[in-house]
Chain A
Amino acid sequence: MYKGYAVNNNVQDKNLLEGLAAQDKASIEIIYRDNFQMVQTMVLNNRGTTDDAADIFQEAMIVLFEKSIDSDFVLTCQIKTYLYSVSRRIWLKKLQKQKRTASHTDDFEQVVQVDEDLDEHKQKQVSFEIMETALAKIGDPCKSLLEAYYIQKKQMHQIAAEFNYTNADNAKTQKYKCLVRLKKIFFAEYKNLK
C-alpha cells in the first residue's frame, strides 16, 4: 500500500481545505465536483448502491472537515487521496458488518492510512448522536429554539420574533431554561451509554 506522507504543497488543496473549515459553499462544491464520482465508482464496484455512495461521501467530507478545523492538522496527501482512503475504509467496514465481502478491492487510486482519523471521528460521532437523541427528547419549542440558535446561528432578536417572544431577553431566558433541560438529558444519556 502506498503511504503518501510527503507534505502536500498543493496551493489549491490548501485553499479548499480552508474553505471547507469555514463551511464555504463554493469550496465544498468544488470538492464535491472533483471527487464524488470517484468515490461513487468505488462503492458501486464494491456491491454498493448510489445511495450508499452518497452517504459514504458525506461521511468522508465530515471526517475531512473535522481535520480541517484542527489547527495541528497538515494534509500530507492530496484531498482526493484522503477522501478516497477514508471512503474506502468506511465502506469496507460497512460491508464487513453486513457480512458481504468486497469483490473488487484492487485500487485505482492511491491509499493512505486513515484508521486513526476514523477512530477519532467515531468517538466524536458518539457525542453527536447523544446530542441528537437528547434534542429529540426535549421536544418543542425547546428543540426548535436551540436549533435556531446553535445550528442556524440566528440572532436572539430574530428568534424572539419567530417564536413570538415579546423581546430578545425573554427568548434568551427561555433558551437558558431549555439548555438546563437539555444538559440534564444529555448527561443522563451519556451515563446510560457507559
Chain B
Amino acid sequence: MEDTLLFDAVERFLNQEMTAQELFYFEEMRKNNAEFDQQVVEMIYFIQELNKFGTQKSLRHILIETENKLSEEGAISRDPLKGKAKVIFLWNRYKRTIAVAASIAVIVSITCATIIASFSGNKQNNIKPLVEKLKEQDVKYKKLEKQIGKLKDATENQIVAEKPRLESKFRATGFMIDVNNNYIVTNAHVLNEAPHQLIVENNKGEQYLAESVYVNPESDLAVIKITDKDFKKIPALPFSIRKNNADLGEQVFILGYPKQEIVYGEGYISAQNGYQMDTIFCQLSTLANEGNSGSPVFNNNGEIVGVISSKEADAEGVVYAIKAANIYNAIHEMRKVKENSDIKITAKPILRKTDRITQIKKVQDYVFMIKGN
C-alpha cells in the first residue's frame, strides 16, 4: 500500500472512522503481514506525536494570549516589585557591579554606564569592548543578502527549507576549543548583548543556535556550546592553546569578524600585563576593531596565546587580550559542573613551521561569528 493511502487508513483507524468491514480487513492484514504491521505501528506513533505537538502548541498559544490579556488588564503586572522585594531584587541584580564599583572607588561618567556595566564594571571608560553593535543599515544589508541567497537557491532549483535567519543586534568573534562537544570561547561581555538568543555563524553565513555554558566577567571569558542539531562536526583542532605567557615582542596574528567576513591582522606582544597592570590580560600592538571581541590571538607556531577583549579608546593600536592560560582556568571551573564535565581540548598542533597562508587556511574554519539579540 502506498504511504499516503496507508496514512489515510491509519488516521481513520485512530479516529475510529473505519467501517466494520474495513476494520476487519485492516486487522487481518496487520495479523498476517508483520512488515505491514510494523509500518502501521510506526505511523500510529508518529501521528500521536504530531497530535501531542499540536496540543502543546495550541496550549502555548492560549497561555500567551492569557498572559497578554491579564497584563493589559493590569491583573498581573510585569513590574510588580514594591518595597522590600524591590530592594532585594535590585541588590541581587547589581550586587556584583556595586561590589566592583566600591572596590575601585573611582567614579566614572554615567554617560558610559551601559558600556561599563556590560564590561564587568572594573574598567574605566577609556578602554572599550570590541563588540560591534549592528546598525539598521547592516540589518538591511543582511536582508538583501538573504534575498540574494534565496534567489540563488531558487536558480539552483533546490527545495531546501531555509532556516529563518537571525537579525542580530551585534557581531563578535569566537573560536572552537572542543570539536567533540562544540565548545566555543568568546568574551563574557559579548554575552551581555545576547540575553535572548545566541547564534554562531561560520564564514559561509550558516547560522547555528548556541547557548552559554560558562561566563566569567572577571577574566571576561565565556564558553558557549553549539546546541544546534544541524551543526556538522568539524575535524580535530589544528592548534593548541598556550599554558604559559607569551613573550614580550613575540609576533602574533589575529583572525576575527570586524566585518561580515573573516579578517586577518598582525601585531606583537607589547606588554605582559593589561590595563592598569591587570595580570589577566596582556597588551598587543595591533589593529582591532569592533567585532573583534573574542578573536583568537595566534603566535608564529599557530598556538593560541590570547583572546582579544578590548582596546584603548584614545590610543591607536593598543589592544588588550586575555592571556590564553585563563582558558584552562575556565575549563577547570567548567568541569566541576556535571553537564560540562565532558569538555576536552584535543589539539593536533600541526601548524609549526608552516607558512602563514597555510596556517590561516587551517585555522579559519574554527573561528566563528557570535551573534544574537
A residues near B (Cβ < 8 Å) are 23, 25, 28-29, 32-33, 36-37, 40-41, 44-47, 49-50, 54, 58, 61-62, 65, 96-99, 103-104, 124, 127-128, 131-133, 136-139, 146-147, 150-153, 172-173, 176-177, 179-180, 182-183, 186-187, 189, 192-193
Q: Which residues of A contact B51 (CB under 8 A)?
A: 150
CB of B198 to closest CB in A, whole Å: 12
In the assembly, what is the distance between CA of A103 and CA of B88, in Å? 10
The answer, yes or no, to whether B106 is at the interface (CB within 8 Å) is no
The answer, yes or no, to whether B353 is at the interface (CB within 8 Å) is no
Q: Is the interface of A mostly helix, strand, loop or mixed?
A: helix
The answer, yes or no, to whether B49 is at the interface (CB within 8 Å) is yes
CB of A32 to closest CB in B, whole Å: 5
The answer, yes or no, to whether B3 is at the interface (CB within 8 Å) is yes
CB of B41 to closest CB in A, whole Å: 13
In the assembly, what is the distance between CA of A47 and CA of B161, in Å? 39
Are A32 and B66 neighbours in the complex by a CB distance under 8 Å?
yes
Q: A99-B215, A127-B49, A186-B49 are in contact. Are A23 and B80 (CB under 8 A)?
A: no
5 new A-B pairs (CB below 8 Å) besides A37-B77, A176-B7? A25-B62, A128-B53, A139-B159, A150-B53, A183-B46
Chain B 182-201 interface residues, beta-carbon cutoff 8 Å to A: 195
In the assembly, what is the distance between CA of A182 and CA of B161, in Å? 12
In the assembly, what is the distance between CA of A28 and CA of B161, in Å? 35
Q: Which residues of A contact B95 (CB under 8 A)?
A: 103
Are B62 and A36 neighbours in the complex by a CB distance under 8 Å?
no
Q: Which residues of A contact B195 (CB under 8 A)?
A: 49
Q: Which residues of B contact A61 (CB under 8 A)?
A: 59, 63
Q: Which residues of B contact A189 (CB under 8 A)?
A: 229
Are B67 and A32 neighbours in the complex by a CB distance under 8 Å?
yes
- Out of A29, A151, A182, which one reaches B66, CB within 8 Å? A29
In the assembly, what is the distance between CA of A160 and CA of B134, in Å? 43
CB of B223 to closest CB in A, whole Å: 10
In the assembly, what is the distance between CA of A62 and CA of B61, in Å? 11
Nearest first, the 10 A-B pairs at minimum CB distance are A139-B161, A150-B54, A176-B4, A131-B53, A151-B54, A180-B3, A176-B7, A151-B57, A137-B161, A36-B76
Closest to B64 in A: A58
In the assembly, what is the distance between CA of A183 and CA of B52, in Å? 15
Are A180 and B4 neighbours in the complex by a CB distance under 8 Å?
yes
Are A28 and B63 neighbours in the complex by a CB distance under 8 Å?
yes
Q: Which residues of B contact A132 (CB under 8 A)?
A: 53
Are A23 and B76 neighbours in the complex by a CB distance under 8 Å?
no
